């Protein structure tokens, strides 16, 4: 099966006209850390506001979000040991109506960078979701089994109710690979190419 990038490739010439809807500015916000759960809660309510304005909500756990050429995103935690993975708004828009999301079992096994950790099915196509970095799946977003269309609505939302795909454990190698991925600005340029 094709990666998301592959599935999108042919539409690229036309797709160029679509700018990603996500506003990467949020991602460029200064680093924060969270010390209390209350702060987290207030952050969630702000995120909901963001959703209405169609902005990309900032990550709760992560400090930075990076993107792959296959159109996955990954947030890495401050301690660089855990992450959240999803597909980009650009990819979600290009895939069209997502009708099924194949989630990986939390098998306890490490997945190498670029290997499939799941799949997204739209009316149009089936696309692999590939691991942006070497990682171990700890949680899959069960909401997507019931409501796969969440991916179309809020693909870059890593909160409960968001379209994130999996939460993962990341090791040193994975963290190093993370550093090599595109940041929001670079990704925006990449999809505009």
Partner 1 sequence: MQSFARIARASPRVKASLSAGRLSTAGSIRCASSASSSGEALKKTPLYDFHVAHGAKMVPFAGYHMPVQYSSLSLADSHHFTRKHASLFDVSHMVQHIFKGPAAAAFLEKVTPSSWSSVAPMSGKLTTFLWPGTGGIVDDTIVTRIGEDEYYVVTNGACLDKDTKYIDEELGKFGGDVQWTRLDGSGLVALQGPQSAEILSEVLATDINLKEFYFGNTVQAQLKLADGSKTHPVLISRGGYTGEDGFEISFNGKLYPASESTVKAVESLIQTAGPERLQMAGLGARDSLRLEAGMCLYGHDLDDTTTPVEAGLSWIIPPERRKAGGFHGAEVILPQLTPKSKGGAGVERRRVGFVVQGAPAREGAEIQKDGEKVGTITSGVPSPTLGKNIAMGYIKDGLHKAGTEVDVVVRGRKRAAVVTKMPFTPAKYWKAPA
Per CB under 8 A, residues contacting partner 1 are: 1-3, 5-7, 9-11, 13-15, 95-97, 99-100, 102, 112, 114-116, 119, 121-127
Residue with the two structure tokens 């997507």: 144
Cβ at position 62, least distance to partner 1 in Å:
25
CA distances to 20, 26, 162, 183, 193 from 154, rounded to whole Å, are 13, 15, 6, 19, 24
Q: Which is nearer to partner 1, 69 or 80 (CB)?
A: 69
DSSP H or E run through 75: strand 72-77
Angle at 49 between CA 44 and CA 52, to 5 degrees: 130
Q: Which is nearer to partner 1, 126 or 143 (CB)?
A: 126
Residue 18: partners with Cβ closer than 8 Å, 6 or more residues away? 90, 93, 94
Q: Which is nearer to partner 1, 79 or 193 (CB)?
A: 193
Residue with the two structure tokens 């979600």: 92
Q: Which is nearer to partner 1, 63 or 99 (CB)?
A: 99
Cβ at position 16, least distance to partner 1 in Å:
11
How far is the first Cα of the chain from the last one, in angstroms, to the nearest whole number?
Answer: 24
Cβ at position 164, least distance to partner 1 in Å:
20
Cβ at position 163, least distance to partner 1 in Å:
16
């Amino acid at each position: 099966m094709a990666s998301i990038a592959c599935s999108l490739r042919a539409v690229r010439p036309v797709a160029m006209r679509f700018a990603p809807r996500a506003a990467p500015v949020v991602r460029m916000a200064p680093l924060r850390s969270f010390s209390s759960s209350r702060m987290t809660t207030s952050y969630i309510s702000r995120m909901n506001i963001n959703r209405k304005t169609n902005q990309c909500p900032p990550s709760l756990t992560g400090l930075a979000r990076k993107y792959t050429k296959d159109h996955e995103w990954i947030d890495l935690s401050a301690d660089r040991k855990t992450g959240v993975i999803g597909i980009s708004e650009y990819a979600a828009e290009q895939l069209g109506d997502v009708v099924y999301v194949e989630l990986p079992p939390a098998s306890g096994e490490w997945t190498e960078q670029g290997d499939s950790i799941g799949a997204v099915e739209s009316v149009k196509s089936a696309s692999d979701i590939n691991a942006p970095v070497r990682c171990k799946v700890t949680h899959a977003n069960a909401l997507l089994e019931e409501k796969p269309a969440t991916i179309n609505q809020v693909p870059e939302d890593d909160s409960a109710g968001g379209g994130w795909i999996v939460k993962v454990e990341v090791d040193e190698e994975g963290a190093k690979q993370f550093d090599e991925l595109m940041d929001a600005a670079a990704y925006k340029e990449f999809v505009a190419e």
